[in-house]
């Protein structure tokens, strides 16, 4: 089971991203190396056909990967997205997006993750709408105490 | 020079994307196979350190590619993003993002584009903050008249 | 079960790729939307540390995706790789590579596939060494008979 | 100008890759953050239509990026490919492939590179046939002396 301190820290990290609140995304699940983010539909998030914008799908793919990676970091480390690649497969036409990220390789410096993004359709069924691969880097947080001492 | 009808059509396509208005993005340049989008900073668009969120950078990369591709389509065609891949290189810490998309291969069915995304720093200088490759598909718009006739 | 005609055709397509024979790769499994390719180690295929070269890993990822896609095409269609993206995760140090491709989205024009590449280690255990996402296009083969008739 | 020691070291690194000799590739240019690799056509490297195989194109893209990155490393560091993404744009039908890699971001741990791959056609003209983005990691080489001492 995931350490409660790590869990709290990831939740806090999510809340610190103003963009997540702006679009209305919620962190709905967090386990060791696994993260789920959900986002209810609103018109503000659409492209020309009234579906979720591809950039929104990419945003969730990136974040589901990043927070999955973060769940395998210490409290003195933080995730930084190096790159991600997204394939859009089916139109994101529905009531809610669900992004599920998973760590494939838990490296010391780099974590490789995959995200699958599902659209919850009007009929309630989930449909795969995108897949992504992402590389997340572990960066060391500078210890404020050490920093003060060294100055 | 770009056909004024095409130009108007791309501009209209941009305006139809509610998400562009929501984040405050502007289409600032359009030529044959080339597109520029700009986005002023606002706190709503940030990640945990107060920089533009990576998902926002990806959104602009995707759209700059998509509208560059759209500039080489007829009025009976529309762009659809198949996939994109984004490398984040420098922190998006500044007053404004500028995304520049360019068509590398103007294929009939698929157009391959590259986008470079720059951050305009506090000192006014542009710095490359991300690069992307994107594949955009040309889809045929169904003629409304034909559609009516066939029903 | 996969149509024997399709199976034979994919096998033939594999054999027509001189590069597969050159490196010694074998098509070891083919089902509807699924393909496995294996490649025994030889020194000719290595990078500076004596492991399989990353380009070889990418080649198998591309082909496992392409032939998985081909298994869902008619005899009058052929696969064409549009793009692929590969994450190398663990060193390809072992006796054999096994690439498994799978169609995630069986679109009419485009098929999106994922490949996982495993290294069979000295101890006989498989280890994930790379993951890929690939976009494969369906191209129509020109019917030679029709062509003759129409000329 | 590039330090002759670095130049020699990259050339040596290239020669240590058995796969480069196997396919017949040559390192034709090396500058600070820039690398060019050429590969003459031979039937062994082809796919079903007699063009260079996509895996070969990807191999050159990966290596041109990797050695461009290597030109900006010290003698105690070595390049490791984290990931690459390749878009194939035009058929690789011609006498020779030319891959040109360039470092876009020279980070301490990670270097982001782009590669463009050209096919030299029968008429002698170069045509862009693929574009790639690659992430190359800097790994520290273990000092052999230190290693001996510590054992």
**Bigger pLDDT: C147 vs D13:** D13
Look at residue D94 and tell me whether its pLDDT is greater than 70. Answer: yes
Model pLDDT, residue B144: 45
Residues in A closer than 8 angstroms to C33, CB to CB, are: none
Residues in A closer than 8 angstroms to B88, CB to CB, are: 81-83
Measured CA to CA, the distance from residue D136 to residue D35 in angstroms comes to 14
Chain B neighbours, 3+ Cβ pairs < 8 A: A, C, D
Residues in B closer than 8 angstroms to D128, CB to CB, are: 104-105
Rounded to a whole number of angstroms, the distance from the CA of D17 to the nearest CA of chain B is 27
Rounded to a whole number of angstroms, the distance from the CA of C149 to the nearest CA of chain D is 24
Confidence of residue D1 (pLDDT cuts 50, 70, 90): confident
Do C90 and A138 form a contact (C-beta atoms < 8 A)?
no
Picking from B57, B77, B93, the residue whose alpha carbon sits closest to that of residue B136 is B77
Instruction: Tell me if A19 and B88 make a contact (CB, 8 A cut-off).
Output: no
Task: Tell me the percentage of chain C whose pLDDT exceeds 70.
Answer: 94
Rounded to a whole number of angstroms, the distance from the CA of D48 to the nearest CA of chain C is 5
Measured CA to CA, the distance from residue A142 to residue C135 in angstroms comes to 41
By CA distance, what is D85's nearest residue in A?
Answer: A85
Q: Is B20 exposed, middle or buried (0-12, 13-18, 19+ CB in 10 A)?
A: buried
CA dihedral C62, C116, A85, A122 (to 10 degrees): 110
What phi-psi label fits residue B37: left (phi over 0), alpha (psi between -120 and 50 degrees) or beta? beta
Picking from B74, B144, B135, the residue whose alpha carbon sits closest to that of residue B103 is B135
Do D10 and D64 form a contact (C-beta atoms < 8 A)?
no
Q: Please give the average per-residue pLDDT across A56-76, as a whole number.
A: 98
Look at residue C95 and tell me whether its pLDDT is greater than 50. Answer: yes
Which of D111, D137, D140 to mutate against chain A (most A CBs within 10 Å)? D137
Which of B17, B45, B48 minimises the CB distance to A48? B17
Mean pLDDT of the residues in chain D: 94
Model pLDDT, residue A144: 46
Confidence of residue C1 (pLDDT cuts 50, 70, 90): confident
Rounded to a whole number of angstroms, the distance from the CA of D146 to the nearest CA of chain B is 34
Model pLDDT, residue C112: 98
pLDDT beneath 50: ranges in chain B: 144-151
Element of type H or E holding C104: strand C96-106
- Tokens describing residue D42: 């031979």
3-state secondary structure D32-90: CCEEEEEEECCHHHECCCCCECHHHHHHHHHHHHHHHHHCCCCCCEEEEEEEEEEEECC
Residues in B closer than 8 angstroms to A83, CB to CB, are: 85-88
Instruction: Tell me if B55 and A53 make a contact (CB, 8 A cut-off).
Output: no
Model pLDDT, residue A1: 81
Dihedral of alpha carbons D18, D21, D24, D28, sign: positive
Maximum C-alpha span of chain D: 60
Instruction: Tell me if A85 and C89 make a contact (CB, 8 A cut-off).
Output: no
Picking from C111, C119, C113, the residue whose alpha carbon sits closest to that of residue C91 is C119
By CA distance, what is A21's nearest residue in B?
Answer: B44
Picking from A88, A90, A83, the residue whose alpha carbon sits closest to that of residue A112 is A83
Model pLDDT, residue A142: 77
Prediction pTM value: 0.94
Model pLDDT, residue C143: 57
Bridge partners (DSSP) listed for residue D103: D113
Measured CA to CA, the distance from residue D8 to residue A103 in angstroms comes to 39
Element of type H or E holding C12: helix C4-15
By CA distance, what is A137's nearest residue in B?
Answer: B88
- Tokens describing residue D79: 């390049």
Model pLDDT, residue B143: 58
Using DSSP's 3-state secondary structure scheme, residue D106 falls into strand
**What is the ipTM metric for this complex?**
0.92
Structural domain boundaries enclosing B126? 4-150
Please report, for the domain that includes residue A34, its CATH number. Answer: 3.10.129.10
Chain C neighbours, 3+ Cβ pairs < 8 A: A, B, D
Model pLDDT, residue D142: 77
Model pLDDT, residue D143: 58
Measured CA to CA, the distance from residue D110 to residue A135 in angstroms comes to 11
Instruction: Tell me if A135 and D133 make a contact (CB, 8 A cut-off).
Output: no
Residues in A closer than 8 angstroms to D133, CB to CB, are: 83
Contact residues of B toward C, CB < 8 A = 82-83, 85, 109-110, 112, 133, 135, 137
Instruction: Tell me if B18 and A81 make a contact (CB, 8 A cut-off).
Output: no
Instruction: Tell me if D83 and A135 make a contact (CB, 8 A cut-off).
Output: yes
Q: Please give the average per-residue pLDDT across A83-111, as a whole number.
A: 98
Do C135 and C110 form a contact (C-beta atoms < 8 A)?
yes
Confidence of residue C44 (pLDDT cuts 50, 70, 90): very high
Other CB atoms within a 10 A radius of the CB of residue A117 amount to 29
Q: Please give the average per-residue pLDDT across A65-75, as a whole number.
A: 98
Task: Tell me the percentage of chain B whose pLDDT exceeds 90.
Answer: 93
Confidence of residue C149 (pLDDT cuts 50, 70, 90): very low
Please name the residue ranges forming H helices in chain B. Answer: 4-15, 18-23, 54-70, 144-150
Q: How many domains would you assign to chain A?
A: 1
Task: Tell me the percentage of chain A whose pLDDT exceeds 90.
Answer: 93
Task: Tell me the percentage of chain A whose pLDDT exceeds 70.
Answer: 94
Dihedral of alpha carbons D143, D144, D148, D149, sign: negative
Rounded to a whole number of angstroms, the distance from the CA of A113 to the nearest CA of chain B is 14
Bridge partners (DSSP) listed for residue A77: A140
């Amino acid at each position: 089971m995931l350490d409660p301190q790590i869990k709290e820290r990831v939740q806090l990290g999510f809340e610190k991203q103003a963009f997540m609140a702006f679009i209305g995304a919620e962190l709905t699940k967090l386990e060791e190396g696994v993260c789920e983010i959900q986002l209810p539909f609103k018109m503000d998030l659409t492209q020309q056909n009234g579906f979720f914008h591809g950039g929104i799908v990419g945003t969730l793919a990136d974040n589901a990967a990043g927070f999955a990676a973060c769940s395998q970091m210490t409290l003195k480390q933080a995730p930084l997205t190096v790159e991600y690649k997204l394939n859009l497969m089916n139109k994101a036409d529905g009531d809610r997006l669900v992004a599920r990220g998973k760590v494939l390789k838990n490296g010391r410096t780099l974590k490789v993750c995959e995200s699958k993004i599902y659209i919850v359709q009007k009929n309630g069924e989930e449909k795969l709408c995108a897949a992504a691969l992402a590389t997340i880097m572990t960066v060391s947080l500078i210890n404020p105490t050490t920093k003060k001492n060294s100055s």
